[in-house]
Amino acid sequence: MARRKRRAFGQVKTSGRQFEASYPTPVGYGDKFGPLSERQYRRFDTEAAADAWLYQERKLIELDEWSPVSMRKAEARRRREQAVTFGEYAEHWVETRRKPDGSPRASGTIKRNRTMLRRHINPYFGDTPMTEISAKQVRSWIDTTADTMRNELTARHNSFVLLKAIFNTAATEPIDDAGDTLIAKSPAAGYSIPRPEKTHKTVPVTDAQIWRLHDVIRDDYGRPDLAVVPLIGLFEGMRIGEVLALRRCDVLTDTDEISVTASVKDENELDLSKPRHMVRGATKTKDSVRTLPIAPELREALYTYMAEHVPQDPDAPLFRAPRAGGFLAENSFTEVYVKARERVDGMHRCRFHDLRHNLLTRVSGVAGVAVAKRIAGHSDVSVTGGYLDAVGDDVLRRALDGSDGSSSASATAADNTIAGYATTLAQLSPEARAKTLDLLPADVAAKIMAAMIQQI
């Protein structure tokens, strides 16, 4: 057995593949540093390094310059952290940040954050140490981007939200056991950039228009698969990623239902060196997992398409990439959709997401916002309130146009429709209610507000 080396000061023990050096805490430092442990420890890769450390510690004691090892390690860590630039800290933040429930953030969110850092934030803050960024510098960024990003107001708002979140983490999350934070206070605290008003107005879509679009895509572009996608968008109100992630087994023909459990994602979205590979990923939120009844207007077209074009394999994608196979990418659909909508009167500005607005507006007027919320897969009813803006001839105007007394049936329909919307909006928060009313035509909003007053 090898004999333990005798040392005049301290001792060194093996600990796995490392060497643990320790010595008794010197007497007389309790008053200066508070309660201390009985021994001071550090680990090293070699015995020689451990001996060298013990020698240095003994010298510090002899020179009366000693301080607890833990305190020195914390100070060294703080110095390293303080030398970190915003660019370094922000990159780590974006790549490692998680949702409040601890789950990973979506790859699309990470990609957008990377873009905002590269284009709008790092050019201004990137090389500055985190501890040297001042409120004045943040104010300067806000003032500068008010001019340089005047045509990118949404990107400016979102970039500031990201900037503020990064600073908030640095100011609130401890970097050591003592609870110290990287910066004492966020330099962005107290500042805000209002969210710009929505520039795109939801386009109301009639059943006739969506069927015309279906025929254009199927017959003129020769894509019977893509022709069904807008039908699902309008009659089921699903997000485009949810539609493209559907498999044959997700269409429950026995019960006339669609099971929404995934959204199509690019598995290599964050690694541009790899080819695009579309897979079924998580839905936008946990509440987005839902089962929807298939609208009667959709059934025949959907079932006919499946019978003629979708393999019998239960896992077969409903909408298959023509060349690569597997699930279809969103831009492959959008490329055809954008061209086809130009050939349908009144749809040239209609985004696919507008179809979701149309369905939720219809449902809310008939069954109320709670039902619309469930169909949408929203976690908060106030979010659903922002979708009640697709007011068109076939939704509300038709009833209003007949409410002049010329037809008692039309007048009754108008009253019932207005009352339905009044009841729906009454369930929203004041802020969401005001926002929704502002999106509606003035005459329609006035009638709804009058009905709300009568219901009080």
What pLDDT does 369 receive? 84
Domain assignment present for residue 183? The answer is no
> Same domain, yes or no, for 338 and 236?
yes
Say which residue, 111 or 386, is predicted with more confidence: 111
What pLDDT does 82 receive? 65
What are the phi and psi torsion angles at 188 (to 5°)? -95, -5
What pLDDT does 398 receive? 47
pLDDT of residue 409 exceeding 70, the answer is: no
E-strand stretches of 151-289: 251-252, 257-260, 263-266, 278-281
The model's pLDDT over 255-304, given as tens digits with 9 standing for 90+, comes to 999 999 999 998 888 887 888 888 999 998 889 999 999 999 999 999 99
Say which residue, 448 or 100, is predicted with more confidence: 100
Most confident by average pLDDT, 198-202, 240-244, 391-395, 441-445 = 240-244
CB 39 within 8 A of CB 54: no
- H/E stretch holding 11: strand 11-15
d(CA 93, CA 104): 12
Domain assignment present for residue 4? The answer is no
What pLDDT does 3 receive? 56
CA angle at 93 for the pair 90 and 95, rounded to the nearest 5°: 110
- What is the tally of structural domains in the chain? 4
What pLDDT does 68 receive? 92
d(CA 148, CA 134): 21
Among 191, 192, 184, 163, smallest CA distance to 94 is for: 163
Q: Which of 350, 384, 405 is the last residue of a domain?
A: 350
Domain assignment present for residue 379? The answer is yes
What pLDDT does 400 receive? 45
What pLDDT does 205 receive? 94
Range from 6-10, 28-32, 80-84, 208-212 carrying the lowest mean pLDDT: 80-84
Give burial (CB, 10 Å; 0-12/13-18/19+) of 209: buried
> Same domain, yes or no, for 142 and 269?
no
> Same domain, yes or no, for 371 and 329?
no
> Same domain, yes or no, for 341 and 384?
no
What is the percent of the chain with per-residue pLDDT over 70, rounded to a whole number? 89
pLDDT of residue 309 exceeding 80, the answer is: yes
> Same domain, yes or no, for 249 and 315?
yes
The model's pLDDT over 350-382, given as tens digits with 9 standing for 90+, comes to 999 999 999 998 888 788 888 889 999 998 888
> Same domain, yes or no, for 305 and 419?
no
Domain assignment present for residue 318? The answer is yes
> Same domain, yes or no, for 346 and 365?
no
What pLDDT does 160 receive? 97
What are the phi and psi torsion angles at 155 (to 5°)? -65, -35
287's tokens? 């509440």
> Same domain, yes or no, for 318 and 429?
no
The model's pLDDT over 229-241, given as tens digits with 9 standing for 90+, comes to 999 999 999 999 9
d(CA 320, CA 447): 47
> Same domain, yes or no, for 341 and 247?
yes
Domain assignment present for residue 423? The answer is yes
Q: Which of 172, 196, 228 is the last residue of a domain?
A: 172
Q: Which domain holds residue 318?
A: 207-350
Among 228, 227, 293, 305, smallest CA distance to 260 is for: 293
Range from 41-50, 72-81, 174-183, 429-438 carrying the lowest mean pLDDT: 429-438
CATH number at residue 161: 1.10.150
- Residue-averaged pLDDT of the chain: 87
CA angle at 383 for the pair 382 and 389, rounded to the nearest 5°: 100
- H/E stretch holding 46: none
pLDDT of residue 154 exceeding 60, the answer is: yes
Domain assignment present for residue 187? The answer is no
Among 102, 21, 17, smallest CA distance to 54 is for: 21
Concatenating the DSSP letter of every residue in 371-412 gives HHHHHHT-S-HHHHHTTTT---IIIIIHHHHTTTTT-HHHHH
What pLDDT does 76 receive? 77
Confidence of residue 392 (pLDDT cuts 50, 70, 90): low
pLDDT of residue 331 exceeding 90, the answer is: yes
What pLDDT does 106 receive? 87
Domain assignment present for residue 395? The answer is yes
What pLDDT does 139 receive? 96
Confidence of residue 319 (pLDDT cuts 50, 70, 90): very high
> Same domain, yes or no, for 386 and 267?
no
What is the percent of the chain with per-residue pLDDT over 90, rounded to a whole number? 59
> Same domain, yes or no, for 214 and 344?
yes
Domain assignment present for residue 385? The answer is yes
The model's pLDDT over 417-428, given as tens digits with 9 standing for 90+, comes to 677 677 777 777
Q: Which of 350, 374, 402 is the last residue of a domain?
A: 350
Say which residue, 394 or 57, is predicted with more confidence: 57
303's tokens? 């079932």
pLDDT of residue 455 exceeding 80, the answer is: no
> Same domain, yes or no, for 212 and 254?
yes
Range from 6-20, 330-344, 426-440 carrying the lowest mean pLDDT: 426-440
What pLDDT does 322 receive? 87
